[in-house]
Structures are given as structure tokens and as C-alpha cells.
Amino acid sequence: MVDLLLGLQWGDEGKGKIVDVLTKDYDIIARFQGGPNAGHTLEFDGIKHVLHTIPSGIFHKNAINIVGNGVVIDPVIFKKELDNLDKFNIDIVSKLFISRKAHLILPTHRLLDAASEAAKGKAKIGSTLKGIGPTYMDKTGRNGMRVGDLEFDNWKEKYRALANKHEAMIGFYDVDIQYDLEELEAEFYEGVATLKNLRFIDSEEYIFSAQDKGEKILAEGAQGSLLDIDFGTYPYVTSSNTTAAGACTGLGVAPNKIGRVLGIFKAYTTRVGSGPFPTELFDEDGETMGRVGNEFGATTGRPRRCGWLDLVALKYTVKINGVTELMMMKADVLSGFKSIKVCTAYTYKGEEITHLPYNVESEYVTPIYKEMKGWAKDLTKLTKAEELPSTLNDYIEFLEEQLNVPIKIVSVGPDRLQTIHR
Ligand code: IMP
């Protein structure tokens, strides 16, 4: 069986930490979508580390880490990620395998991303500008370059043809994008050389045989369900399926081989980049969440927008993914709030609704809140469920009842050890 670990909001829920906490129970950790737009932060032994493409199991002695076919890889960023791991003395070659079917992000994909965003002006997506959208466009347009292409002698010709096409496309945008392609290409070739030191595999075959051997596999999602290309707040989304179905297509896992579906959410809500966010706060409460929660993007450093928990959206993503257990992150950030609000319904075109409608922009939707008592206690030193303040327990139990799924982990700080199992 393959267990899934997914973010249920707009990303940045804390997936990296939870994968790291759970890795000891798994033989294989596999990424199935997204690319270096992700920033998975892990903290242990006083060290803070951010991973972008490499699965979060890389720090555990025995886990094999797989970058699946659904992921898009930028060799330049990948090389930097590997260089940053040097100091940890990890035997990367025997622990990290790459799917031949994963697509490559070319330097010109990044330029196209920048040109597309600049051309959109005010309507920009707020992309991380890592070339994610253009790379998935080439994948679905059947023009992309894959990791497996690098095993053939003519890969540079393939690269050249695609890069030339991209340059012509950049010309179509009426924007001024400055770049030195020669310099970008030198970096790219260097990255490819590093990538080629790793083992390329047919990851679906590897996973089939691991399943036959009874090995335990965890599929690690990136971004969050509300950024899903189909079910997210389109067009303000990423270009992959971040939901459970993405693990089937991004790794070759059959639906009947999926076991537990672990859904991660923050005790409140955040979003980076543009797009609707019904429970967004523009007041002191939002500012406090951002400051206490250190809400800055792990990849871009941009401040994250903050707001109360949105149960309408969360119910939707719990259903889309078939979540079997929940993990609530950053409960400690809400300590000190006199009252906590949870959005339980929306007013939509004058009517009260409890489902996520097609339009969630503020001109259509006004959140309806339930107000609950807050807690003052500092949670960051707690280790046992019995120590949680009773008002926090009320909050947790209310969410469990509304979502009809148990909350199994409450995270009270960024470190591995600040994790309470229920
Ligand atoms: P892109 O995937 O870089 O094109 O970005 C599209 C949207 O998804 C933007 O609003 C980004 O801020 C957001 N996004 C992409 N990756 C992440 C992530 O890992 N965490 C949070 N937001 C993300």
C-alpha cells in the first residue's frame, strides 16, 4: 500500500516537517508533482533546512527517496540543493532515484514564466517564477524534455530545438525580459552533468516491486489542494494536480493501492501569491499570525497572507482527497488570541451556503464565522495530548466533528520534537 501526505490549503501547511517525523515508518518517500516552486522546511538538532525538489526523507538513514514522473526538475536548482546537502554526508547516490519520465525545466521555461507574468500585469498569478507552468504546458503539449532523454547522445539537439522555440515565444510577449542565454545555458549544462551522476529509474516499476516486497511507501505532495489545477481557485493555482489523484498519475500508483491519506492543515489559513482568499484578515489579528507564525514563503521569501481557518474549503479538500486522518499544524501560533474564529459557511449571492462555490472572490462570498474561546498557554514545550489547554481541545473536537475525520497530530513548533500525537 502507498500512503499519501497532502496539503489541504494553499500550500505551506508544514508537509516537510510531517514527512520528516513519519519517515522512520517508511521504506520509500516519493514526490509525485510540482517542482522547485515547493519549499519543504525541516528542523532537527538545531538545524533548519529547506528542500525544493528532493523528498523530505533524505535525512533518514534507511529511506529511499524517489522523484516521480509527475515532478518537474530544474537541474540548476537541483544541483544547488545537492550542494547544500554536502555538509550532511548523505550517500545521495544510493538514496535518491529520479524517474526517467520526469520533465525538465529549461532556462527558457523560467524566462517564459517571467514573460507571461509580466504580460498579465495586475492579473498576474503571483507565480514563484520557477518555470513550472511553461514546463507542464510543454508536457501536456507533448513537446517536453524528460530526464530519460539525457541518456541519449542527441539530448543537446533536442534541448536546442526547444530552447529556440521558447525564444521565439518570448518574442511574442510585449514585455522587456533581459537575459543572457549563454550564461543560463552554462549553468543548465552543469546542472545536467550533476543530475546524470544520479540513478535514473522507471519509478513506477520500482514502486511496483517495492509493493510486491511489502515495503512501506509514502507519497509526498507539494503545494496544497486549493492550488490544484482542476479543483483549486483557478486560474490562481499551480499547474499540477496537487490532490490525491496526482499521486496516481505522478507515480503510477493504482487507486486501489492507496492506503492512508494524511491531510495536513494549519490551525489558521495562509496563502502566497494572488487569488481569492475568503477568510483573509487585513487587521491586527492577521498581522499577529504572520509575525508569530513567521509567515514568509520558503522559496521566494514573500510575506504570506493570513486569515482564519476556512472549514468550507477544508471540508471540500478533505472530500476531494479522501482524507483518512488529519494533522493540525502551528497550533502554537494561535496562543494568546482571546477568541478564535472558524468560517463554517459563506453568504453567497444573499444565501447561506456550506459548499465551495465556483466563485470565491470577495465580491461573491462573505464568510460566516463561529467564534470560540482562545487559549493563553504557550504550547511549544508540550509533548503530551493531556497537556493541551481545554479550549484548544474544544477547537480540535469541533473541527473533528465538522470534518468527520480524526486529528491525529497537533504540531506545536517547527522542530521534529514539537509534535503531539493523539
Ligand atoms: P507556480 O506554481 O510557481 O506557477 O505558482 C502558482 C501559484 O502557486 C502562486 O500563487 C504561488 O505562490 C503558489 N505556489 C506555488 N508553489 C507553492 C508552494 O509550495 N507553497 C505555497 N504556494 C505555492
Span 307-344, pLDDT tens digits: 999 999 999 999 999 999 999 999 999 999 999 999 99
User: Please, are residues 218 and 22 in contact by the beta-carbon 8 Å criterion?
Assistant: yes
Give the mean model confidence (pLDDT) for residues 406-420: 95
Phi, psi dihedrals of residue 178, rounded to the nearest 5°: -90, 135
Residue ID of nearest Cα to ligand 1 atom 21:
11
Question: Which residues fall within 8 angstroms of residue 283, CB to CB, at 6 or more apart?
Answer: none
Q: Is the peptide bond before 235 cis (omega within 30 degrees of 0)?
A: yes
**Measuring from atom 19 of ligand 1, which residue has the nearest CA?**
38
- pLDDT of 47 above 90: no
Distance CA 375, CA 395 (A): 10
pLDDT digits (tens, 9 = 90+) for 193-241: 999 999 999 999 999 999 999 999 999 999 999 999 999 999 999 999 9
Atom of ligand 1 nearest to the CA of 37: 16
383-388 mean pLDDT = 95
Q: How far is CA 189 from CA 86, 134, 150, 220, in A?
A: 20, 20, 11, 28
55 is in an annotated binding site: no
Q: Give the chain's radius of gyration (CA, Å).
A: 21
Average pLDDT over residues 355-372: 96
Give the model's pLDDT for residue 48.
87
Burial 326-348 (b: 16+ CB within 10 A, else e): bbbbbbbbbbebeebbbbbbbeb
Angle between helices 132-140 and 107-120 (to 10 degrees): 110
Q: What is the 12 CA–ligand 1 centroid distance (Å)?
A: 9
| pLDDT at residue 145 greater than cutoff 90 | yes
Indicate the pLDDT class of residue 41, thresholds 50, 70 and 90.
Answer: confident
Give the H or E element holding residue 218.
Answer: strand 217-220
pLDDT at residue 251 is higher than 90: yes
To the question of whether residue 69 is assigned a binding role by annotation, the answer is no
Taking the C-alpha atoms of residue 231 and residue 229, their distance in angstroms, rounded to an integer, is: 6
Closest atom of ligand 1 relative to the 38 alpha carbon? 19
Ligand 1 centroid vs 34 CA: distance in angstroms? 9
Question: Of 347, 342, 334, nearest to 374 (Cα)?
Answer: 334
Enumerate the active-site residues.
12, 40, 139
pLDDT greater than 90 at residue 44: no
Cα of 65 vs its chain's centroid, Å? 17
Half-sphere exposure of 16 (CA within 13 A, CB side): 25
The single residue listed with the C-alpha cell 459557511 is 345
Q: Determine if residue 214 is labeled as part of a ligand binding site.
A: no
Contact (CB, 8 A) for 330 and 323: no
**From 19, 103, 128, 129, mutation site for ligand 1 pocket: most ligand atoms within 8 A of C-beta:** 128
Three cell numbers written together for 148: 530519460
Mean of pLDDT values over 282-293: 96
- Supply 82's cell numbers: 545537492
Find the mean pLDDT for residues 299-303.
Answer: 86
Task: Tell me the β-bridge partners of 310.
Answer: 343
Please, are residues 406 and 325 in contact by the beta-carbon 8 Å criterion? Answer: yes
If you measure from the C-alpha of residue 414 to the centroid of ligand 1, how many angstroms do you get, rounded to a whole number?
A: 21
Q: What per-residue confidence (pLDDT) applies to 71? A: 98
280-308: average pLDDT: 93
Was 402 annotated as part of a binding site?
no
Could you report how far apart the first and last alpha carbons of the chain are, in Å?
A: 23
Q: Which domains does the chain have, with CATH numbers?
A: 2-100+200-261 (3.40.440.10), 103-195 (1.10.300.10), 265-421 (3.90.170.10)
% of residues, the chain, pLDDT over 90: 91
304 is in an annotated binding site: yes
| CA separation for the pair 114, 176 (Å, rounded) | 10
Q: What does the pLDDT average to over 115-127?
A: 94
* Residue 349 φ/ψ region, left for φ over 0, alpha for ψ in the -120 to 50 degree band, beta for the rest: left
What spacing in Å lies between the alpha carbon of 10 and ligand 1's midpoint? 8
Phi, psi of 383 (to 5 degrees): -130, -15
pLDDT of residue 119: 95
Nearest residue CA, atom 22 of ligand 1? 11
Pocket test for ligand 1, best of 229, 238, 264 (most atoms within 8 A of CB): 238
Ligand 1 binding pocket (C-beta < 6 A) is: 10-12, 37-39, 125-128, 130, 132-133, 222-223, 227, 236, 238, 272-273
Rounded to the nearest whole angstrom, what is the distance from the C-alpha of residue 394 to the centroid of ligand 1? Answer: 33
